[in-house]
Structure 1
Amino acid sequence: MSHTDNDSRGTANGLTSLAEAEFAPRTTYLNTASSGLGPARAAEAVQRAARGWPTGDFSDYDPAVAASRAAFARIAGVPPERVAAGASVSVYAGLIAAGLPSGAEVLVAEGDFSSLVNPFAVRADLKLRTAPLERMAEEIGPGTALVAVSSVQSADGRLADLDAIRTAAAAHGARTLVDATQSAGWLPLRAGDFDYVVCAGFKWLLAPRGVCFLAIGESAAAELPPAFAGWLAGEEPWESCYGPIAQLATSARRFDHSPAYLCYIGAAASLALIEETGVETIHAHNLALADRFTAGLAELGYQAVGTGGSAIVSVPGLGAAAEQLERAGIQVSARAGNLRASFHLYNSAQDVDRILDALPAPVH
């Protein structure tokens, strides 16, 4: 393997110190694409809040939601007033699906994650059309009402050409929905370029499961009915507890779900860690490890999916090796027949070398 330069070594050393302070994986953990590891500071915050639960101390609850919303907004590059806080991608995709008129055409990528696709598929009166990821932009037409795509594909780590999709959608008057669950936290995000960006926080943002954000553009927000609005969606929540809400929040908070407070307490601490480290720093670190793994795979005789640029690296037809690697203390995943490894700020070059040493020889 090639040696890193001084700047890269300095960054790597800083992330190594951070990883040692915040994370304690029991295995060689290369599976953030399934679930991120929680930082120690987040676990401590949740435990502290849980200890306050029996005593009636709920003072951290609402501030944690506000802090999480603001942190995600900064990461996504939008004002916090444009961010709603919820619990899952499928609920927000379902809300957007429910707002479409009968007969509307929705374009999705072949094999995209079900939480994004299924809410549109179960509405029999919608026209759901699929296209290869590489052809998404050119498949958008004058009849397309919405194009929904994951920025990074869960099954294999391929990146969508979001710039091309945004340009084509604008040319045809189509709305855009991007699922950033597999990218936010390591891949720089410009959520303001799209009508909707949804992101579950339990992967690359290192939050507990039960945290999800929806960044929504102003014109899209004006058209989307807040069908799931509860009392917290009121402009004055404590005056919105009974009967119809007199005034919904003027911000994206009208699309909030009642939050899982303990999850958001953990999220506030995890998102602070992402911001302190910096998405650009994490991006460079993750891609360096992914490139090291891809190069090592080629030396062994394996071909990874895609052309690089992703923190997720998949090897077609090698999914069965995941069990063998697990027995060797290396945690990856098998998805769609692929062996999928994913790299984040707590991983190191030694982790990459360990999985390369443990892989079975290719069968020719």
Structure 2
Amino acid sequence: MDNLRKGFPVLKQYTYLNTAASGLLPEKVFEYRQDHDLDFLVSASILKEKQGEVLTEVRETVGGFFNCAPQRVALVPNFSYGFNTLLEGLEKPKKALLIKNDYPSINWPVESRNFECFYTEIDAYLEDNIRTALKAHQPDFFAFSIVQYINGVKLSIDFLKELKKEFPDTIFIADGTQFLGTEIFDFDSTGIDVVISSSYKWLNGGYGNGFILFNENIVGKIHPKHLGFGSLQGKYKAHEGNFIGKFEPGHQDTLNHGSLSVALKLLRDTGMENIEAQVNKLKDFAKEKFSELGLLEDFVVKRNEHSSIYNIKGDHELFKSLRKANIIISQRGEGIRVSFHFFNTVEEVEKLLDALKTRR
């Protein structure tokens, strides 16, 4: 267990149960960032000349980590940039299916454009609700979070695989920001058309970097309009009209994208099988204890599939009490959101439980 916690100094100061808000910055990523900017300080354009090599390595690292060919990986500064670029590439009008109260950065951009929007509810029967809505409305695209940001409700990858087979003509656009980094994810095996993710949460990649994974069949269904000199620069984009290049029109940030590469290699070296096992252990233990204390919504208790994010009953006074005890959590929705990653421990969950019992 100590090996999983190495390289995260913040864990010595706090009981950090807040990865759903912001992941930790690993020491190795911090060291890379220092070295990178020192190189820039002393070499200026000489460092810039290596940009193509750096970004090629990042693209290949991302593709290898999630099993997506590097020529189908776009590097973007965050989820919202990538998602808005993608939406602008969809011919209008289109019918869209959304999940009610999904992350605003998903629903707001769709609602702000000339799309006909339909919604499905989050409850114990979310999967049935989605299937029913797809049958009833036959949307052109379905945009959704794999894991819901407020309460951690999760759509299983197996369900999404089956659903895509049932509705092959609907474009599936998934936000992986609250999911990627918690378990092994083989993109090409899912059939999902597009996965977009920021990297500052469960991947511990810091801010200013993200990526898009594209199914090989998506080209021709989306026509992004962004274009710039950077659209044609690099090993995988060096021809006019390149698809991923239209998501990368300007100069790319080698500091931030390079940080993602280092973070992914750290996860790889830790072992995603070890990370997944630890996350599962913590989320199952927490769900059992939270359920016993009556802290979860009834439908969350009933669901078999869930993430390591929970929204427990509590007010602002409880939030302040936990923060005073150096337990880092967030207020979301009508409760308090807690989240567990691989560097957390059962002892930390128990510390939270003790604090909650004291307040009852």
**Do these two structures clear the TM 0.5 threshold for a shared fold by scoring above it?**
yes
Q: Does 1:226 align with 2:203?
A: no
Q: Residue type matched to 1:159 in 2? A: K
* Distance 1:104-1:320 versus aligned 2 partners, 3 A rule: farther
* Distance 1:33-1:89 versus aligned 2 partners, 3 A rule: same
* Distance 1:163-1:293 versus aligned 2 partners, 3 A rule: closer
- Where do 1:64-103 residues align within 5 Å? 64-103=54-93
Shift of 1:226: 2.9
Structure 1 stretches of 4+ with a deviation exceeding 6 A read none
Shift of 1:362: 7.2
Q: Residue type matched to 1:214 in 2? A: I
**TM-score, structure 1 as length reference:** 0.85
- Where do 1:1-364 residues align within 5 Å? 13=1, 16-25=2-11, 26-55=13-42, 56=44, 58=47, 61-123=51-113, 125-133=114-122, 134=126, 135-141=129-135, 143-172=138-167, 173-192=169-188, 193-234=191-232, 247-249=240-242, 252-257=244-249, 258-303=251-296, 305-306=300-301, 307=303, 309-318=306-315, 321-360=318-357
SS at match of 1:280: helix
Q: Residue type matched to 1:46 in 2? A: R
Q: Over aligned residue pairs, what C-alpha RMSD do you find?
A: 2.5
* Distance 1:353-1:298 versus aligned 2 partners, 3 A rule: same
SS at match of 2:338: strand
Contact 2:147 2:153 in 1 (8 A): yes
Structure 1 unaligned regions, length at least 5: 1-12, 241-245
Contact 2:160 2:192 in 1 (8 A): no
Take 1:266 and 1:162, find their aligned partners in 2: how far apart are those partners? Answer: 27
Residues 282-336 of structure 1 show CA distances to partners (whole Å, capped at 9, x for unaligned) of: 1110121122222232343433635354121221455652222111100011111
Structure 2 unaligned regions, length at least 5: none
Which deviates the most, 131-140 or 305-314? 305-314
Shift of 1:213: 0.6
Shift of 1:151: 0.6
SS at match of 1:198: strand
Take 1:28 and 1:357, find their aligned partners in 2: how far apart are those partners? Answer: 13
Q: Which residue of 2 aligns with 1:3?
A: none
Number of residue-to-residue matches in the alignment: 341
Shift of 1:46: 0.1
* Distance 1:356-1:61 versus aligned 2 partners, 3 A rule: farther
SS at match of 1:58: helix
Q: Residue type matched to 2:47 in 1? A: F
Take 2:52 and 2:247, find their aligned partners in 1: how far apart are those partners? Answer: 16
Take 2:287 and 2:166, find their aligned partners in 1: how far apart are those partners? Answer: 37
Which deviates the most, 174-183 or 281-290? 281-290
Shift of 1:203: 0.5
Contact 1:149 1:179 in 2 (8 A): yes
* Distance 1:54-1:155 versus aligned 2 partners, 3 A rule: same
* Distance 1:170-1:21 versus aligned 2 partners, 3 A rule: closer
Contact 1:320 1:337 in 2 (8 A): no
Which deviates the most, 59-68 or 273-282? 59-68
Contact 2:152 2:306 in 1 (8 A): no
